[in-house]
Structure 1
Amino acid sequence: MTDIKSTAHYHLPGLFEFYELYKLFLPLYREHREWFYDWCDIGSIYGAPSDCLWGGGRAAFGDADVEDVIALIEEFGISARLTFSNSLLREEHLAYKKCNELCKKFAKNAGRHGVIVHSDLLVNYLKTNYPELYLISSTTKVLTDFDVFETELNRPEFSFVVPDFRLNKTFDRLKSLSQTQKDKVEFLCNECCDFGCKNRKVCYENVSRKNLGEEISDHKCTSPDAAGGYRFSLAMKNPAFIGTKDILETYLPMGFTNFKLEGRGLGSAIILEFLLYYMTKPEYQLQVREAVYLDSMLDLF
């Protein structure tokens, strides 16, 4: 393993949504470490179970048993992050039992687990009631102004801040950050959203309203490629895409070490492709696929 400052820490999607995938992948990652790049590791896995009023981000929730999820991440010593990034919470929502119970369970291992948060109301509530949980400023804030982003980095409440993906290549400003600030930056690597999209915040607010139980229609994305859904091949063409070469040759040398992969709203097959591309040496990708799929006679269609 390389020195910690030259190690990329990946923050992976689907804590509850892709529990079955991680139940297969994590033992492989531990038992066959030679299959995977030695310059990266798993910084955390994030997500939320179904019916979380505090939930936000993409509308994708898992039904894995909470105790099973906790047992898995504790076995492998991984940080879990609850995705509680609803931007429209009100005072009366803070007493919501299910979310409080989740926080209590994950707060038992003080300092290891965190919460991805948007609402300052929830930030203050969590700091008061669950100080054991570290906080991450959510990308749902759509921080596209670098000065605003830098102000967010300087807030002591947050251990990490995820800027809007359109700040990923603003190297003239990024390189001027202090190392303390750089340590808090968590880049969203594989966003497929149109680089010129002006409705990103509206899209996230739509999800927040749905989680609050409001009867509203789905947000209609106007991106030219929206009809085709997420395509990793298209994400790779996005001007803001951060690939493995970028991480190794640009971001790590600049002092940035935290990288987030989106994908809670996708299927486990594409999540596996992310794990293969970002973490697995090419000569071992087939072995990982075979071990995860298990059945060599599996038909995808």
Structure 2
Amino acid sequence: MNFLEVKNIESSLTGTVYYHLPGLFEFYDFYRVFLPLFYEHREYFYDWCDIGSIYGAPSDCIWGGGRVSDGDSNPEEVLTLLEEYGISSRLTFSNSLLKKEHLSDRKCNELCRLFEKNNKVQNGVIVHSELLLDYLKNNYPELYLVSSTTKVITDFDEFLMETDRDDFKYVVPDFRLNKTFDRLGSMTCGQKDKVEFLCNECCWFGCNDRKKCYEAVSRKNLGENISEHICSAPGSNEGYRFSKAMKNPGFIGVNDIKDKYISMGFSNFKIEGRGLGSALILEFLLYYMTKPEYHVHVREKVYLDNMLDLF
């Protein structure tokens, strides 16, 4: 029985929620302070939640996709930190435009070899491309695979078919399926165990350009000389705002998780945040994981122990 199967069994027995957090490489210094705080002062945090994984990719990986992030912390140090706390590491290799010649990329393959040889925790890869999926299955079978939200699966029947695929341990649907409770409630226990909801998306609920946005990121990671994708959604010039995300019809708040999703049998929730800055990541972790009366305690300890990029 592997790490993920143990986590799922623990969750079904105890009602534990597992958060999947952003910034595996870019926020290494932040997690180096936050993780010991989380596990040494559990009284600060909700007892019904834990950390399932931390995801990300170095900035110059051509297999990379999703939000572009900066930061190239040493992969061995990153793995050592997460191993210490039994947390799974995930490589965000969700580029949707890969071709056969890209599969031989040295850096991406070295990362997969490094992450696969971990003996303490099973690590994974978030993937979009079917070509890369087959390559990873054949060459790195010890890595589990996650179906990326960059596929923008908004049709519920298509989403169900994705959860039924043996290829994936988890499937991250488009955030616009988050509140389709009539259909979500009819899923089997096995399907529910594989669902990983994206909680705090700020993208306009009616956006029709989401695939184009992710495709632009994929082209950029492949080194193509393209112009920046300009989002035409209302308020897009403001950038990410957590207060704005909270008003999104697809937003999943902490009370939604406690009062609705846990009782429905769901236990995995993804927090967006790559490229946003560690100060905002802290706000996410305060909101989703920290008891309100201890917010100031966590802020003080993190601010005093770690130089956050507040300005």
Q: TM-score, normalization: structure 1?
A: 0.97
Query: Matches of 2:308 and 2:62 in 1, distance apart?
Result: 37
- State the SS of the aligned residue for 1:80: strand
Alignment of 1:145 with 2:155, yes or no, is: yes
The 10-residue stretch of structure 1 (108-117 or 35-44) with the greater mean CA deviation from structure 2? 108-117
Q: Is the 8 A contact 2:278 2:309 kept in 1?
A: no
Q: Is the 8 A contact 1:52 1:98 kept in 2?
A: yes
Query: Matches of 1:139 and 1:95 in 2, distance apart?
Result: 25
- State the SS of the aligned residue for 1:294: helix
- State the SS of the aligned residue for 2:169: strand
Alignment of 1:86 with 2:95, yes or no, is: yes
**What is the match of residue 264 of structure 1?**
274
- Label 1:283 to 1:133 Cα distance change in 2 as closer, same or farther (>3 A): same
The 10-residue stretch of structure 1 (245-254 or 221-230) with the greater mean CA deviation from structure 2? 221-230
Please provide the CA RMSD for this pair.
1.8
**What is the match of residue 35 of structure 2?**
26
Query: Matches of 2:39 and 2:192 in 1, distance apart?
Result: 28
**What is the match of residue 262 of structure 2?**
252
**What is the match of residue 9 of structure 1?**
18
- Label 1:298 to 1:138 Cα distance change in 2 as closer, same or farther (>3 A): closer
**What is the match of residue 287 of structure 2?**
277
Post-superposition CA distance 1:35-57 (Å, at most 9, x none):
10001000000000121010000
**What is the match of residue 290 of structure 1?**
300
Query: Matches of 1:156 and 1:164 in 2, distance apart?
Result: 20
- State the SS of the aligned residue for 1:158: coil
Query: Matches of 2:38 and 2:113 in 1, distance apart?
Result: 29
Alignment equivalent of 1:197, drawn from 189, 207, 212: 207
Q: TM-score, normalization: structure 2?
A: 0.94
The 10-residue stretch of structure 1 (288-297 or 154-163) with the greater mean CA deviation from structure 2? 288-297
The 10-residue stretch of structure 1 (191-200 or 64-73) with the greater mean CA deviation from structure 2? 64-73
Query: Matches of 2:40 and 2:165 in 1, distance apart?
Result: 39
**What is the match of residue 60 of structure 1?**
69
Query: Matches of 1:19 and 1:296 in 2, distance apart?
Result: 11
Post-superposition CA distance 1:82-129 (Å, at most 9, x none):
000000000000000000000000101256100000000000000000
- State the SS of the aligned residue for 1:147: helix
Pairs within 5 Å for 1:102-113? 102-109=111-118, 112-113=122-123
Q: Is the 8 A contact 1:11 1:42 kept in 2?
A: yes
Structure 1 residue 298, shift from structure 2 partner: 9.1
Structure 2: segments with no counterpart, 5+ residues: 1-9
Moved >4 Å (runs of 4+):
1-5, 295-301
Structure 1 residue 295, shift from structure 2 partner: 7.1
Post-superposition CA distance 1:254-277 (Å, at most 9, x none):
000000000102011000000000
Structure 1: segments with no counterpart, 5+ residues: none
Structure 1 letter corresponding to 2:219: R
**What is the match of residue 131 of structure 1?**
141
Alignment equivalent of 1:69, drawn from 78, 81, 98: 78
- Label 1:71 to 1:120 Cα distance change in 2 as closer, same or farther (>3 A): same
Alignment equivalent of 1:154, drawn from 164, 177, 181: 164
Alignment of 1:168 with 2:178, yes or no, is: yes
Q: How many residues align?
A: 301
